[in-house]
Amino acid sequence: MDIHEYQAKDILSGFGVEVPPGAIAYSPEQAAYRARELGGEKWVVKAQVHAGGRGKAGGVKLCSSDTEIQAACEGMFGRKLVTHQTGPEGKGIYRVYVEAGVPIDREIYLGFVLDRSSQRVMIVASGEGGMEIEDISAEKPESIVRSTVEPAVGLQEFQAREIAFALGIDPALTAQMVRTLQGCYRAFTELDATMVEINPLVITGDNRIVALDAKMTFDDNALFRHPQISEFRDKSQEDPRESRAADRGLSYVGLDGNIGCIVNGAGLAMATMDTIKLAGGEPANFLDIGGGATPERVAKAFRLVMSDDNVQAVLVNIFAGINRCDWVAEGVVQALKEVQVDVPVIVRLAGTNVEEGQKILAKSGLPIIRATTLMEAAERSVGAWKNDLSQATRVRAVK
């Protein structure tokens, strides 16, 4: 789960990371009022969307008067901000963050991520802040500092100092840098985050280390331990399909293809998408319905997949280990009777009671295309989609 910048800053400040004073606003007039409350001569107005690259897309404006603040907000509220991370559809702007201007002497990149290979939290830092980490890696790879943290002891002061020295931090600011690094690490581990990124972390003209921007992402599976973090969820920034799936206990990621996937198990779902690609098709989604493929759960999955207008065929791929194929087959049949599905449906079952499951599908009288292997299921899905597409083309030609 992603959260907004102002929410991430509120969290990090509670762990000892210094952030500039700021306030959230939901209208141009409120933004101007917030600036007067903050005081000063310059303010930064930032669109609050779940995406990077806001500055280049016009989502960050430096203002020096009420008039400029209101004009900046007028250009943001109610429109879609399109960045390299949002795709062409963009993200809606419904709130802005007004922040006091900070005199900047130097910018630093700082990130905390999970390193799967070492199974540790990795700290990634660079003296080239203000740039995306991908750009830094490509243009100045020598500037990147990496350090993994031993989970048994956490981030120690000596390790934080080593990172500060590697970044060329002034010795007089080392203590501040250590406090910032340890605060970020504590927030990462104590709140089950999967990413903490500060870009840029700045050294100000009066020798302070301040987080000028902040991003945090959290493990969805651990949110039950942190109800205060769950409250930060903003559904307006999510794909509506993914939001509906999460509310129904399904793992769903929308894609740009046209073959819908209903699969039990994340690994099998990934393999299914790869096989569809290998067969010449394009998956429309990643959908893991989990271990309990009950009729109700399968029906929810069909409704979710069919809510995507691009879907022109549906592939159901179930490996019954904990489940039984006959139960799954009954669920598919019941779901197809409850949900209107007007595209080809291909079902591949494997595992416990597979013969009984195939018999249930055959006796249902429904136009279900059956397959025994994953490759066969993918090929039949692609074939059914192409056949359906060619039929639609012929109908349009006749009309």
Going by their DSSP bridges, the two strands 251-254 and 285-288 should be labelled as antiparallel
Q: Indicate the DSSP class of residue 339.
A: S
Residues flagged as binding site for Mg(2+)? 199, 213
What number of CA atoms fall less than 13 Å from residue 231's CA on the CB side?
5
Residues flagged as binding site for substrate? 264
Residue 21 CA, chain-centre distance (Å), reads 27
- Identify the active-site residue in 6, 97, 109, 252: 109
Residues 110, 201: contact at Cβ < 8 Å? yes
Residues comprising the chain, all counted: 399
Residues flagged as binding site for ATP? 46, 53-55, 99, 102, 107
3-state SS string over 126-154? ECCCCCCHHHHHHHCHHHEEEEEECCCCC
Distance between CA atoms of 348 and 135, rounded to whole angstroms? Answer: 43
3-state SS string over 249-305? CCEEEECCCCEEEEECCHHHHHHHHHHHHHCCCCECEEEECCCCCCHHHHHHHHHHH
Residue 58 structure tokens: 């016009």
- Identify the active-site residue in 5, 97, 128, 197: 197
Question: Would you call 194 exposed, middle or buried from its count of C-beta atoms within 10 A (0-12, 13-18, 19+)?
Answer: middle
| Cβ neighbours around 368 below 10 Å, total | 17
Distances in Å between the Cα of 159 and the Cα atoms of 16, 115, 133, 145, 359 are 18, 17, 22, 12, 63
Distance between CA atoms of 157 and 67, rounded to whole angstroms? Answer: 46
Residues flagged as binding site? 46, 53-55, 99, 102, 107, 199, 213, 264
Angle at which helices 174-190 and 5-13 pack, to 10 degrees?
110
- Following DSSP, what letter does each residue of 362-393 receive, concatenated? HHT-S-EEEESSHHHHHHHHHHHHHHHHHHHH
Determine whether 109 is an active site residue.
Answer: yes
**3-state DSSP percent of the chain in helix, strand and coil, to 5:** 40, 25, 35
> Dihedrals φ, ψ of 358, to 5°?
-65, -35
Residue 205 structure tokens: 């003209």
Which residue type is seen at 348? R
Show which residues are catalytic: 109, 197
